[in-house]
Amino acid sequence: MQKEHTAVFIGHRELFGVDAAAVETEIKKLLASGVTHFLNGGMGRFDWLCAQTVFSLKKTDKRIQNILVIPYLSFHIEEREYFDAILYPEGFERYHFKEAIIKRNEYLVHHAAYAICYVTHSWGGAAQTLRKAKQRGVQIIHLNR
């Protein structure tokens, strides 16, 4: 998985004001520019909307890889069939579960060149992850503007 061909999704647990069509439009733009791998944290409604959208697009574009990155082994996965792979990063067993979520989010932005984001406020995990993505030079695509 090459970083320049990888995108991540960053968003809140709750989802208001964005729909699958908006997500699909942005994913299609990324596909046209060569992005084929999509990393997902699987924790909120935005993540699951994105997982479903990528899964749907994969039916017509076999290049797409939909990858769930889990923070700990007991992580509950609602819809395994959406994903081509489930990744548990090496060394994550040493983190407490709350710290593992932060480390997983850092892993996501360290391994992606693009981020499709739905971040509406400046606090919480999504906002913190968005700040880290900006610091790392990830190209940000905002859905809530």
Q: How far is Cα 123 from Cα 53, in angstroms, rounded to an integer?
A: 26
Q: Give the pLDDT confidence score for residue 17 in this predicted structure.
A: 81
The per-residue pLDDT for range 22-43, each reduced to its tens digit, is 999 999 999 999 999 999 999 9
Please tell me the distance from the alpha carbon of residue 28 to that of residue 30, in angstroms, as a whole number.
5
- Structural domain includes residue 7: no
Whether residue 107 is contained in a domain is answered as yes
Residue 62 pLDDT: 92
1 is a domain residue: no
Residue 66 belongs to some domain of the structure: yes
pLDDT tier, 13 (very low <50, low <70, confident <90, very high otherwise): confident
Instruction: Give me the chain's average pLDDT, please.
Output: 94
Confirm if 124 and 99 have CB atoms less than 8 A apart: no
Task: Please check whether residue 107 is in contact with residue 128, taking contact to mean a CB–CB distance below 8 angstroms.
Answer: no
DSSP H helices in 59-141: 97-110, 125-135
In the chain, what percentage of residues exceed pLDDT 70?
99
pTM: 0.95
Domain hosting residue 94, numbered range: 21-117+126-142
Residue 36 forms part of a structural domain? yes
Residue at 8 is within a domain: no
Number of folded domains that form the chain: 1
pLDDT over 70 (residue 145): no
pLDDT at 91: 95
Residue 16 lies in a domain: no
Of 114 and 20, the one with more pLDDT: 114
Is residue 104 domain-resident?
A: yes
Are residues 116 and 9 in contact, defined by beta-carbon separation less than 8 angstroms?
yes
> Is the confidence at residue 126, as pLDDT, over 80?
yes
Find the CATH number of the domain harbouring 75: 3.40.50.450
Q: Determine which helix (DSSP H) or strand (DSSP E) holds 27, and give its type and residue range.
A: helix 20-32
Interval 65-114: pLDDT, tens: 999 999 999 999 989 999 999 999 999 999 998 899 999 999 999 999 99
Any residues with CB less than 8 A from the CB of 112 and at least 6 apart, and which? 3, 6, 7, 8, 39, 133, 138
Under the banding of pLDDT at 50, 70 and 90, the label for residue 21 is: very high
